[in-house]
Structure 1
Amino acid sequence: MTNPMTGAVPGAGYRLAASAEMLFVDLPFVDRVQHIHDAGFLVEIWDWTVKDVDALAAADASIVSMTGYIAGNLTQPDGITELLDTAARSLEIAERLNCPALNLHGTGLDGKGLPVRPVEVVTGPEWVTAVRTLERIAALGEKAGRVFTLENLNTAVDHPGTPFARATDTLALVEAVGSPHLRMNLDLYHAQIGEGNLIELVQRAGDVIGEIQVADVPGRCEPGTGEINYAAIARALRDMGYGGVIGLEGWAAGDPQAALDAFRAAFTP
C-alpha cells in the first residue's frame, strides 16, 4: 500500500500520484481528489481557474502538480507576456495549495488540447527565444521556491501543431536552461506515440526529470491495457535511483479503483 500523504512505494524511491481530471469523473472534483488520496496516492490537477481553490486547500490530500499557466507561449512577444504573467498568478495558487510543481507545455492549449497557435516548423531564432523565456520562468520558480516542469506531447494523435512537443525537444530546452527550477515532465504515453524507446529515453533524460507521467497505448488508460511494458520501465527507474513522482495521467478502462490498483501493481517491486 502506498502512503496517502507521500505516495511512497515500499521498496522504491519514487512516489505515485494520479490525475483527478481523468479518474472518478462522475464525482464532484473535490470528491475525486479525496478518493485518490484515500486510495493512497498523491493528487495532480490541471487548470486551477475552474476549481474551488479554497475547497482544494482544505482537502485532506497532497496536491503535487498543477497547470502552471493560463495562456501564452514561449516565442511571441504577446504570448511571452501572457505566459509570464499567468505563471506568476499560478505560483500564488500553488502557494495556497502547497503544490511543489507547476506544469507547462510548448504553447497554450485550448479545451480540446489543441494549440491556440499551431506551428508546423519551429525556426532557430524561436528556439533561442524559447530558452530565454524558460530562463525567466525558472527565475520565477526559484523566487517562489517551486519547480516548473515542461511536458512533452504527441502531435500524431492528441496535440497536432504543438511546437516543442517531442520529448527530445523538451529535453533539449530544459538542458539548455540548466536550472533546478525547470525540469522535464516526461510523459511516457505521449513519448510512446511519438518516439518509442522509452527505457532509453528515461535513462537519457536522467537527472533533468521532474516528473514522469504514464498511461498505456493505445487508449490512454491504466498500465496493462495496452502495449507498454510498464513493469520493465519501473525496474529501469529503480535501477536509476529515480526518486521523483510518477503520475497516472490516464482514463480508467473500467472501474477507477481497479485502474489505480493496476497502476500501483505495475510500479511496485
Structure 2
Amino acid sequence: MPITLAACAEMIHLDHPIAERARRIHERGLQVEIWDWSAHDLPALAATGASFSSLTGYLRGDLITSEGSAELIATTRESLRAAEILDAPRLNVHGTGLGEGGIPVRPGTEVTGGDWIRAADTLRALGDLAAAEGRTIVLENLNLAVDHPGTPFARAEDTLELVSAADHPAVRLNLDLYHAQIGEGNLIELVRRALPWIGEIQVADVPGRCEPGTGEIHHPAIAAALRDLGYDGVVGMEAFASGDSDAALDAFIAAFSPPAGVAAH
C-alpha cells in the first residue's frame, strides 16, 4: 500500500475560510488535518467531502498532574464526539495544553518518575476511550528550542518511551519530523526505531516550517526510507506555504511520491 498524504488546513490557503481550505486540499487528493475542532463548524467541514486524517484530541489538561489528567480524559471524550462527526481516525495529544504562541499551559521540562507513571497511565485511559470508538490516540513530539519551550514530554525520545511504556494498541506516536530535526536530528534512524509505534508522521522543513524543499531536510530521502521500511500510513504536511499554497502542496506531493519506475510498497 502506498503512503497516504495529508495537509494541515490550519496552515495552507490561509486567505480562505477553513471549510474552503479543506475542500481545496481534498481536491488535490489529500486528506485534511485540523487542530482545535471547537473553533470550527464541524458540519460545514464534513460537508466538504474531505477525509480527515486527525484533529486535536483534547481541549484542556496535561499528562503530569492528577487534575490535568482528569481534565485531559474528560475533554478527550468531547473530542471523540467531534471525531465521529468528521470520521477522523486519529486524535492528537501533547504533554500539556498549548496556549498563545505554542507556550505550554503547564510547563514541566523537569518531570519526576511519578510524572512518567501518571502519563503512561493516562495514555492507557485515553487509549481505552479511543478503542471503544474505533479510533487512535497519537502523542505528538514537539521541539523546545524554537516553538514550544517548557513543554513536558516534548522530545521524540520522550514520546517514544511513553507510548511504548503505555503499550496500548490504540495509543501511537504522531512523529513530527520538523520538531525532531530541531531537537534531535538523525531522522531516518529515528523513524526506523519508532516504526512499530508510529500512528502518523508529520513534516515541514527547517528552518521556517514551510513545505519540503525550503530548508535543510532532504524529504525524498525520508520518503525512500519509509518505502523501504514498508510504511503505509499517513504523512501529513503540517507546514506553512513559503509562497503559493498550491505550489507548496505540489512540492510536498513530489517529495513523497516514488520516482518513476519505483514501486510504492
For this structure pair, what is the TM-score category when the shorter chain's length is used for normalisation? over 0.9
Name the residue aligned to 1:7. none
Provide the C-alpha distance between the structure 2 equivalents of 1:108 and 1:242, rounded to a whole number of angstroms: 30
Provide the C-alpha distance between the structure 2 equivalents of 1:45 and 1:258, rounded to a whole number of angstroms: 20
2:82 aligned with 1:109, yes or no? no
2:39 aligned with 1:77, yes or no? no
Provide the C-alpha distance between the structure 1 equivalents of 2:235 and 2:209, rounded to a whole number of angstroms: 15
Cα displacement string for residues 16-58 of structure 1 (whole angstroms, at most 9, x for unaligned residues): 0000000000101100000101111110000001000111122
Task: Give TM-score, length-normalised by structure 1.
Answer: 0.95
Aligned-pair distance for 1:198?
0.1
Provide the C-alpha distance between the structure 2 equivalents of 1:156 and 1:252, rounded to a whole number of angstroms: 22
Name the residue aligned to 2:185. 196
Provide the C-alpha distance between the structure 2 equivalents of 1:82 and 1:179, rounded to a whole number of angstroms: 20
Aligned-pair distance for 1:82?
0.8
Name the residue aligned to 2:195. 206
Cα displacement string for residues 75-107 of structure 1 (whole angstroms, at most 9, x for unaligned residues): 212111110000000001101111100000011
2:201 aligned with 1:216, yes or no? no
Equivalent of 2:22 in 33, 55, 63: 33
Equivalent of 2:132 in 139, 143, 153: 143
Tell me the percent identity.
Answer: 60
CA contact (8 A) 1:75 1:133 kept: no
Cα displacement string for residues 236-265 of structure 1 (whole angstroms, at most 9, x for unaligned residues): 000000010000000000000000000000
Aligned-pair distance for 1:64?
1.3
Provide the C-alpha distance between the structure 2 equivalents of 1:120 and 1:109, rounded to a whole number of angstroms: 14
Aligned-pair distance for 1:224?
0.3
What is the one-letter code of the residue matched to 1:34? Answer: R
What is the one-letter code of the residue matched to 1:68? Answer: G
Name the residue aligned to 1:186. 175
Deviates more, 1:54-63 or 1:96-105: 54-63
Name the residue aligned to 2:142. 153
CA contact (8 A) 1:153 1:167 kept: yes
Query: How many positions carry a matched residue from both structures?
Result: 258
Equivalent of 1:264 in 244, 250, 253: 253
Cα displacement string for residues 127-160 of structure 1 (whole angstroms, at most 9, x for unaligned residues): 1111111110111111111001000000000000
Provide the C-alpha distance between the structure 1 equivalents of 2:242 and 2:120, rounded to a whole number of angstroms: 38
Q: Secondary structure, in 3 states, of the residue corresponding to 1:112? A: helix
- Please identify runs of 4+ aligned residues in structure 1 that moved more than 3 A: none
2:85 aligned with 1:119, yes or no? no
Structure 2 portions without partners, runs of 5+: 259-265
CA contact (8 A) 2:64 2:95 kept: no
